[in-house]
Structure 1
Amino acid sequence: MKAENYPFARELIVDTEGHIRKVVIDFNDYQRLLEAIEDEGLIRAMMEVKDETPLTLDEALAELEKELIHCINQAF
């Protein structure tokens, strides 16, 4: 297998059997890939809640407070 067969790959690091174990990429390409993954996650999260009714500020703060109390109680 050659690095030129893979987008972004500068170098492929393989084991003794020829299986790809690591990929070396340019740091700027790495950052672009991370941004694309984050964007995909945001899109999926938005799609999950698209039919939900938005909370008021007071409702949102109450939910956050309830979650915080739950987390604190679980920590102890």
Structure 2
Amino acid sequence: MERSRSPGRPSPVLAPAPCGWGDPEDRARAVGLLRQAVHQQGISHIDTADAYGPHTVEELAEEALHRYPAPSTSSA
């Protein structure tokens, strides 16, 4: 993934780099990159278009950035 750039200035947008379609080969690295981009580099927008792989970026972003554990599926 790489940071997109507007003419003359960086843009806080993260988009998959060329040939970055579908599930990443190294999921842990992709999750780490998303965390670093948001928490250390100030990225404020992650492009989640289905063209990168249906639900791929959404799932990675959820894993990387969601603060809370998944809800329990047990009933009381």
TM-score (norm 1): 0.24
TM-score (norm 2): 0.24
**Structure with greater contact order relative to length (CA < 8 Å, sep ≥ 6):** 2
Structure that is richer in helix per residue? 1
